Chains A and B, each alone.
Chain A
Amino acid sequence: MTDTAVRTPVTAVTRPDNDRWLTLGFAAPATVVLALLFVLPLALLLVASVAGPAGFSLAEYGRLTTPHYLGVIWNSLRLAVLTTGIAFAIGYPAAFALARARGVVRSALLATLFLPLAASVIVKAFAWTILLRSDGIVNTVLLALGLVDEPIRMIFTETALIVGAVNIFLPFMILPIYAVVAQLDHRLVDAAATLGASPAVAFVRVVVPLTLPGIIAGVALVFSLSVSAYVVPTLLIGERYPTLSTTIAKAFLLARQPAFGAAAGVVLLAITLAAVALSARLGRSGGSR
């Protein structure tokens, strides 16, 4: 009795201590890399954005509130919201199809999702320009079929931009949702049915809440990817549709206005962080009901 009473606290104290050091040890390399390569540049960016010629200044942020740059912010948000919305509308049912598929069909579907990820986004965006050009494949086919009399203008339109963005970012919507749907216990749907829930009600009350973590992850991923997309708007729509990303690049590379570029970068970062924070919050409240 006495022995146990004396020994127990000792082990109880040393064990977590060892664990903590071990955990810190494992996390250290990643922490150093993140601090040096991520936090430090961002801190410098933040400093640069408020560094005017005569010390601290919010002038660059002021420029961002002019109608032109509010339009740029709006363009970025519009691209992100449309891309995310359409990718979700396509991706959510696709994730269920993927989870239901078996054997060869499932492998083939997974391959069509993963293989594009191996190709560079520039390659994929160029592929879309080839498809959508006036003398591109789509127009050639439409003309040959006699469906149109002259080539339709597709490239450098918002439609092309959204189609391309949805195509390129769709796997990031489908995969997290698929991961959750594949885990879904179908007996829960059976249980809902026997309790009086029609298929539609069971979907809304059981399937959607249980797949919410996947939905939130997919939406957060696609939103933050598309709101900050640079290659896709540059190649598929160009100057006609300036976004925060293209504006930042121009400020740094062409206009030599690093302070303005830094300010736009901070705004873009804030939008992305807000989206991620909001989805994390939704995920928590959705999970704890």
Chain B
Amino acid sequence: MSSPDGAPHVVIRSVSKRYGPLTVLDRVDLTVARGELVTLLGPSGCGKTTLLRLVAGLATPEEGAIAIAGRDVTRVPPHRRNVGVVFQSYALFPHLTVAGNVAFGLAVRGRPREEIDRAVARTLSLVRLEHLGSRRVSALSGGQQQRVALARALAVEPEVLLFDEALSALDRNLREDMQVELRRLLREIGATAIFVTHDQDEALTMSDRIAVMNGGRIEQLADPKTLYARPATLFTLGFVGQSTRVRGTVAAAADGVVTVDTPVGRLSAMGHFAAGSPVVVAARPEHLNVVADAAGHDGGDRARNRVDGRVRAVIFQGSRSRIEVEAGGETLLAELPGRGAADLRPGDDARLVWPVAETFVYPDPEARP
């Protein structure tokens, strides 16, 4: 097992890419350490695939520079970069066998036959397909094709592995298995990898760090836990994990805590805003506790937010239940584990209680300045 050693391996500096009038990437900076697994996460059109193609050399930036392993490759064509790409639909060569696909990169490098055979055998066993070398790729299942695509990229011992939505074509169970297996494999061989995905679960499972992208920029770059616990922007909050939110106006601010007037009452959150600022207050549903008895005993606790309302719906989801609580014309979402919501019924009075420390506040993007 190896883990990132901190040495910068892929350095993307102030890179911009335009297609006609459309700016797809806007001065993006990103450094990936050797052995690190970084995910570019975002909705379609956010520029994540374009950024990956720039690193692969399949596109050239208008501005900025890209270096791989200390070498400036900004203008280097893809075939001289030594990168390994696993494409969304795998892009396996249909006219070659499994072994032929895996051997391709070494064959075009003119390596001797014995070396190629050894490398093919080694990489195929790495992805546990050693018995399928002579098969045609069209005869393989989706999961097997995915492994061949990975083996083909690994065989050339690339400086960096690039995955473009590589798991999205697999069905859910297989995808989850592959996430875990792929992460273990990449760790084992100490690979540096950049994943592109719109799947937040995949990003959280696979990555050392996640770059959340939106509109051609990186909104937040952080490790999965920080990203989830402290989303820096409303976009990140919305894209990673569930959230419940309500708009309001800052009433007072002191010591890094703002008090916000909202339709559901006065809420406190960690943040710095001037009084009068239009904001959105948000929290993760799993932090909201539902107290059936509104005449609570924690009335004076300033470290908690409280909202009194009425249960609108209880949605049983197996390992957890979602409870929709209506208050002041807004609907807040709470999530309780297991059978915690067993005695709640729609129409019941309920009090929502959650820590101020787990309450986020962001500028209201829809408010007029």
Docked Cα-Cα span, A222 to B303, in Å, equals 85
Rounded to whole Å, the gap between the CB of A123 and the closest CB of chain B is 41
Which of B85, B89, B92, B94 meets A194, CB within 8 Å?
A: B85
- Indicate which residue in B79, B93, B96, B162 contacts A196 across the interface (CB closer than 8 Å): B79
Instruction: Determine whether the beta carbon of B104 is less than 8 Å from that of A205.
Output: yes
Tell yes or no: A209 within 8 A of B by CB: yes
Residue B95 interfacial (CB < 8 Å): yes
Q: Are A193 and B57 in contact (CB under 8 A)?
A: yes
**Interface 0/1 of A12-53, CB less than 8 Å to B:** 000000000000000000000000000000000000000000
List the A side residues contacting B92 at CB < 8 Å: 191
Known: A205-B104, A289-B100. A191 touches B95 (CB 8 A): no
Contacts of A197 in B (CB 8 A): 79, 104, 108
Given the contacts A191-B93, A206-B93, A210-B94, A196 and B87 also touching, CB distance less than 8 Å? no
Which A residues touch B97, using CB under 8 A?
Answer: 289
B91 A196 Cβ-Cβ under 8 A: no
* B149 (CB) vs chain A CBs: closest residue: A191
Known: A195-B105, A195-B108, A195-B156. A190 touches B91 (CB 8 A): yes
| B81 (CB) vs chain A CBs: closest residue | A194
Q: How many cross-chain pairs have Cβ atoms below 8 Å apart between A and B?
A: 77
Cβ of B84 within 8 Å of any chain A Cβ, yes or no, is yes
B108 near A194 (CB under 8 angstroms)?
no
Partner of B77, one of A188, A193, A206, A212: A193
Chain B residues with CB under 8 A of A201: 79, 108
Tell me if A149 is interfacial: C-beta within 8 Å of chain B: no
Could you tell me if A191 and B85 are in contact, using CB atoms closer than 8 angstroms? yes
Asked if residues A194 and B83 are in contact (CB atoms below 8 Å), the reply is yes
- B residues 71-123 near A (Cβ < 8 Å) are 77-85, 87, 89, 91-97, 100, 104-105, 107-109
Q: How far is the CA of A30 from the CA of B152 in the complex (A)?
A: 48
B56 touches A (CB below 8 Å): yes
- The answer to whether A287 has its CB under 8 Å from any CB of chain B is yes
Task: Check A209 against B87 for contact (C-beta < 8 Å).
Answer: no
Say whether B84 contacts A194, CB under 8 Å. Answer: yes
- Determine if A188 and B57 form an interchain contact, defined as CB atoms under 8 angstroms apart: no
A82 contacts the other chain (CB 8 A) = no
Asked, given contacts A201-B108, A205-B108, A289-B100, whether A194 binds B57 with beta carbons under 8 Å apart, the answer is: yes
A3 within 8 A of B: no
Chain B residues 321-355 with CB under 8 Å of chain A are none
B58 within 8 A of A: yes
Residues of A within 8 Å of B109, CB to CB, are: 196
**Set A185, A195, A198, A287: member contacting B104, Cβ < 8 A:** A195
Are A190 and B58 touching (Cβ within 8 A)? yes
CB nearest to B53 among chain A residues: A190
Given contacts A193-B58, A196-B108, contact A188 B93 (CB under 8 A): yes
From residue 32 to 60 of chain B, which have CB atoms closer than 8 A to chain A? 56-58
The interface residues of chain A lying within 8 Å CB-to-CB of B93 are: 188, 191-192, 206, 210
| B79 adjacent to A198 (CB under 8 Å) | yes
A194-B104 in contact (CB<8A)? no
CB of A187 within 8 A of chain B? yes
Interfacial chain B residues near A188, Cβ < 8 Å: 91, 93
Chain A residues within 8 Å of B77, by CB = 193, 198
Chain B contacts for A187, CB-based, 8 A: 87, 89, 91
Nearest A residue to B85 via CB reads A194
Assembled-state Cα–Cα distance A114/B91 (Å):
33
User: Which of B56, B82, B95, B156 lies in contact with A210, CB distance below 8 A?
Assistant: B95
Instruction: Knowing A187-B89, A205-B104, say if A195 contacts B96 (CB, 8 Å).
Output: no
Residues of A within 8 A of B80 (CB): 196
A 254-289 contacts with B by CB, 8 A: 286-287, 289
Complex CA–CA separation, A196 to B56 (angstroms): 11
Distance between Cα atoms of A210 and B91 in the complex (Å): 13
- Which chain B residues border A286 with CB–CB below 8 Å? 95
Residue among B81, B87, B107, B153 making CB contact with A190, cutoff 8 Å? B87
Residues of B within 8 A of A198 (CB): 77, 79, 108
Q: Which residue of A lies closest to B107 (CB)?
A: A205
With both beta carbons as reference points, the residue of chain B lying nearest to A204 in the complex is identified as: B108
Per-residue B-contact encoding for A144-161, CB less than 8 Å = 1, 0 else = 000000000000000000
* Closest B residue by C-beta to A193: B78
Contact between B156 and A196 (Cβ–Cβ < 8 Å)? yes
CA distance A188 to B88 in the complex (A): 12
B56 adjacent to A209 (CB under 8 Å):
no
- Which residue of chain A is the closest to B88 with respect to CB atoms? A187
Contact B95 A194 (CB under 8 A): no
CA distance in complex: A198, B57 (Å): 12
Write the chain A residue with the least CB distance to B89. Answer: A187
Question: Do A191 and B91 contact each other (CB < 8 Å), given the known contacts A196-B79, A198-B79, A289-B96?
Answer: yes
Complex CA–CA separation, A286 to B79 (angstroms): 26
**Quick one: which of A185, A194, A289 contacts B56, CB cutoff 8 A?**
A194
> Please, how many angstroms separate the alpha-carbon atoms of A196 and B105 in the complex?
6
Q: A194 with B79: in contact, given A187-B87, A187-B89, A187-B91 (CB under 8 Å)?
A: yes
Which B residues contact A (CB, under 8 angstroms)? 56-58, 77-85, 87, 89, 91-97, 100, 104-105, 107-109, 152-153, 156, 162
Q: Can you list 14 residue pairs at the A/B interface with Cβ under 8 Å?
A: A190-B78, A192-B93, A194-B57, A194-B78, A194-B83, A195-B105, A195-B153, A197-B108, A198-B108, A206-B93, A210-B93, A210-B94, A210-B95, A212-B95
Closest 3 CB pairs of A and B: A195-B105, A191-B91, A187-B91
Give 5 A-B pairs besides A194-B79, A212-B95 with Cβ atoms closer than 8 angstroms. Answer: A191-B87, A193-B58, A197-B104, A199-B79, A202-B79
